[in-house]
Structure 1
Amino acid sequence: DHWPEASVTVFSALLYQVSRGEEFTGSIDDILTKLLESTKMVESNLLGHEREVVKRGLTELINGTLASLIVDDSSPEHASSVIASIVPKIRALRYLRGLENKRDFSIRDWVKNDDKKGWLFIRVSEEEMDAAGPLVTAWFDTVIKAVLSLTPSKDRVIWNVIDELQSLGKINSLKTALNEGRKHGLRNILGFTSANELMSIYGEHSAKAMLSQCNTKLVFQTDEPTAAKWNAELLGMEEVVTENESLNFGKNDSQGLNEQRSDKYLIMPSEVQRLPAFTAYLKFSGDYPVTQIKTAYTERAVVAEPREPRQMPPPLVVKQKVILPRELKIEQGLAGSSLNEPLV
């Protein structure tokens, strides 16, 4: 869990530092420019040998913060690994460009207003998930934290429905939502295709602990043997008592009765593998039997386009600053190249 935690710490510090800048206008372009800008310098060592050094703006931004302990110049390989894990988050910010002038909408305010009812859909197509996934993860995290900040209520009901959970990154607050969300009125419905993928994201122990909080379980067909076995265990086991009678004939005839106790799947893994389409096993919390149910697919009439892509702003180009020794500056100046500093 080190890399995700380290990247979150550094990325949060970067956004905070950028927002505190005197020249910050509140635009996404300002944030991206500050995060992407860099300066190429030529430095000389004690022997007079020159080398090119690229100093990135983001390392200067976090100087003096806790994040500077993670991105340390004395450990360039570690710093590069952390920065590489931040790149997808920075890339996702591109999809927010140009939205500053749109009507404001606060997820936190919407959640905290008990008088407002309605649906909030966060939808991303498959081809956009790799790039926009960090944004979707952040939005779900915001929803959950906003609900958990509310006063406990027996009357409030907020449904949090996440389909294809394994396609998102780690939602840090999800485990807390499953453990403590009920008293705040939060109800969770989680859909995923593979428990193995979920365990690779959250870790085996955390994933099992999270799913144990989901009292109602609906299991559809899966071919993968390990997943089928895991789903069968999820549906539960029963204790089976087998009695074995033994007879001994001889000088001293005897008769014995032995009991053997063993656990047996309520639903065998092979039964999970053989489930037909639109058929599933349903398990409720409490003393209710596991039952097989059938669902039907309903073809809905198309009343509107499923999505309308917006016109994105032109690509943002962040130029690299160049600082050269005086001799090289003169040569570059004679060649007609523009520099970020005057020649004299």
Structure 2
Amino acid sequence: MQRFANKLRRQAYPFPHTFGAWLSKSIRHSKLPSCAMNYCPNWIAWLHLLLLHRRLCKTNCYSWHEELQRTLIHSWLLRCVPAYNNSRERNMRITLSVLGWALLVAILLSLGFWIWDITHQFQFDHPWTELPDALWHTFHYPALRMIAVWALLKGFVPVGLSLYLLDRLDARDRTQRVVRGARIVPGKELPNITRKKPRQGEPAQVTVANVSIPYSCETSHLLLAGSTSTGKSTAVDELLESIMARGDRAIIIDPNGHALSRFAKKGDVVLNPFDTRSPGWGIFNEFRKPFDFDRIAKSIVPDTSDTSAQQWHGYAQQLLAETTRALTQTGENTTERLLHWLIQAPAADLKTLLAGSAASGLFEPGAERALASTRFILSHHVGSFQHLQPGDFSLRTWLESGTGSLYLTWREDMLSTLKPLISGWVDILIASVLTLPDDNPQPLWLMLDELASLERLSSLEAGLTKGRKHGLRVVAGLQSVAQLDAIYGQNHAKTLRSCFRNMLALGCANSDPDTAKVISDGLGQSEIERIQTTHNQNKNGASTSTHRERRIEAAVLPSELMSLPPLQGYLKLAGDYPIGKIRLVPKDRPALYVPFKER
């Protein structure tokens, strides 16, 4: 190819004595960079053309058409050699041209500002003769030196800023564009899209990853998906800070009392049977109507994803509902008596108590093993009731009061004991929210930092789908889809995930590609149009072809999620908002209260 180009150059310059041929030969034998060598012959050809045209016009030569044609062909062919078509060298050529023009503009601006400043500070009788002398002695006198420095700043700074802004605006890849579907923007751009100035009497927006959540997105719930130590707790802390600053109420599932120690205020309630600050609670405080017994029994003994065991859970729910109903009628409505009848009382005595009820079938002859299995399941779910302190605190009454937040706390060494109890409390709260008036509801946030740390919540799906008109906003953390599948079953877990239209996707474990795939699918897909340029070289010359190609691709690949560093992720909001690539910033918040006061 180099020999071919050299041959073209020799054909284009048949007269060795011409200036163009001499300059071309000098440059070819110089030590200039290869990219400069590729650009120079093209310019030399045009210079040769101009000189030749001038010489031929003077000599009235009529053979200049052949030379002109040969020169133009040479100039065109040089554009077809691969070295010239190389995009890197072409970009360098464009960049050098832009920088050259920018430098010229900056110099002219500086010269203009210098002339303007010096003519307004000094009186010149003969400006055209004295200005060059002043320019020559500029750096010999302090006064002239400062004028020159300021003139240079006035000329070069605007040009430099303009180049910087143009570079930022032109930073995106112009060879591809998103036709439709999910679109990713930098984290600094998304807040400008979602931020809205609150009107008079309108609350401020809550934030996560420094992105203001639109009001319309709050009731679409938020799923925090990511492995351990990726930033879920950092995101929850930022949300809680803005929620508390806005004056909203919150139900916070708080492992180790982290949120309680930093965000609690006067009037809030701590619910933990092992904490001295916790009020006394009993299941009988929640009963108001005849149908409450069945509903709350399902909260305490939830359904199971195991179809073979669901029948026994149904028996346990029925036995608990009928026992609490019977004890309410007899006046034995205390936690102590409930535990006695469910776990300790002989089967004959329990049969007498529940005679004529829907649970009487459990006491038929031959059903002894069924009754034993049912009471065994009940002992697991109500066993933690033995640690409850007597009192009249009611979750439903607290919801209806409309003041303060509720913290359900535990320490890690208490989780195995308190897990069924706290899960029952959360389910009762979710079901009770659906009974609140739906006219102008007060915002109520349910913060589930680790959804998989609780047992199955029977009312969660209803709360996610119907709670928005009652003001419910659910924020749930999820470490792995396998955890949710194990608790709720694969189909039900998929239904629950579909109820979260807002999602903060953080880093996934490399050993859990299934979770990364599910999160990637949740972020959506994009239709990408790419411009592809193909260069071909053959014996007839070179050719360039361009075509457009459209493909459907994942907005964020699973491998990208698995390679995310801690505190970085993608935020997808409900509605027509782009996906923001965000960075969480940890904030050191002082502890205002002790997280736990042991009873």
**Which of 426, 435, 439 is the matching residue for 1:149?**
435
Q: Which residue of 1 aligns with 2:403?
A: 117
Q: Which residue of 2 aligns with 1:42?
A: none
Write the distance in 2 (CA, Å) between the matches of 1:207 and 1:62.
36
How does 1:1-344 map onto structure 2 within 5 Å? 1=304, 2=310, 3-21=312-330, 24=332, 26-39=333-346, 55=347, 57-58=349-350, 60-69=352-361, 73-96=365-388, 99-100=389-390, 102=391, 104-113=392-401, 116-223=402-509, 224-239=512-527, 263-310=552-599
Q: Relative to 1, partners in 2 of residues 1:126 and 1:59: Cα closer, same or farther, differing over 3 Å?
A: farther
Conservation of the 8 A alpha-carbon contact between 2:342 and 2:378:
no
Conservation of the 8 A alpha-carbon contact between 1:232 and 1:267:
yes
> SS of 1:159's equivalent?
strand
Identity %: 27
Residue-by-residue CA offset, 1:129-165 (whole Å, 9 max, x unaligned): 2221222122112222222112212452111222211
Write the distance in 2 (CA, Å) between the matches of 1:72 and 1:285.
54
Question: Could you say which structure has the higher helix fraction?
Answer: 2
> SS of 2:407's equivalent?
coil
Q: TM-score if structure 2 supplies the norm length?
A: 0.42
Deviation of 1:262 (Å): 5.9
Deviation of 1:121 (Å): 0.8
> For residue 482 of structure 2, what is the amino acid of its counterpart?
N
Unpaired stretches in structure 2, ≥5 consecutive residues: 1-303, 305-309, 533-546
Conservation of the 8 A alpha-carbon contact between 1:37 and 1:57:
no
> For residue 309 of structure 1, what is the amino acid of its counterpart?
E
Write the distance in 2 (CA, Å) between the matches of 1:111 and 1:73.
45
Q: Which has the higher contact order (CA 8 A, sep 6+)?
A: 2
Write the distance in 2 (CA, Å) between the matches of 1:150 and 1:230.
34
Conservation of the 8 A alpha-carbon contact between 2:382 and 2:420:
no
Q: Relative to 1, partners in 2 of residues 1:62 and 1:131: Cα closer, same or farther, differing over 3 Å?
A: farther
Q: In angstroms, what is the RMSD of aligned CA positions?
A: 2.9
Q: Relative to 1, partners in 2 of residues 1:90 and 1:107: Cα closer, same or farther, differing over 3 Å?
A: closer
Deviation of 1:216 (Å): 0.9
> SS of 1:304's equivalent?
coil
Write the distance in 1 (CA, Å) between the matches of 2:548 and 2:377.
57
Write the distance in 2 (CA, Å) between the matches of 1:286 and 1:29.
51
Write the distance in 1 (CA, Å) between the matches of 2:528 and 2:363.
57
Write the distance in 2 (CA, Å) between the matches of 1:138 and 1:177.
14
Q: Relative to 1, partners in 2 of residues 1:83 and 1:30: Cα closer, same or farther, differing over 3 Å?
A: closer
Q: Relative to 1, partners in 2 of residues 1:291 and 1:14: Cα closer, same or farther, differing over 3 Å?
A: same
Deviation of 1:30 (Å): 2.0
> SS of 1:20's equivalent?
helix
> SS of 1:66's equivalent?
coil
Unpaired stretches in structure 1, ≥5 consecutive residues: 40-54, 245-257, 311-344
Write the distance in 1 (CA, Å) between the matches of 2:368 and 2:550.
59
> For residue 328 of structure 2, what is the amino acid of its counterpart?
S
Q: Relative to 1, partners in 2 of residues 1:194 and 1:63: Cα closer, same or farther, differing over 3 Å?
A: farther
Q: Relative to 1, partners in 2 of residues 1:33 and 1:153: Cα closer, same or farther, differing over 3 Å?
A: same
> For residue 17 of structure 1, what is the amino acid of its counterpart?
A
Write the distance in 2 (CA, Å) between the matches of 1:63 and 1:243.
79
Q: TM-score if structure 1 supplies the norm length?
A: 0.71
Q: Relative to 1, partners in 2 of residues 1:4 and 1:167: Cα closer, same or farther, differing over 3 Å?
A: farther
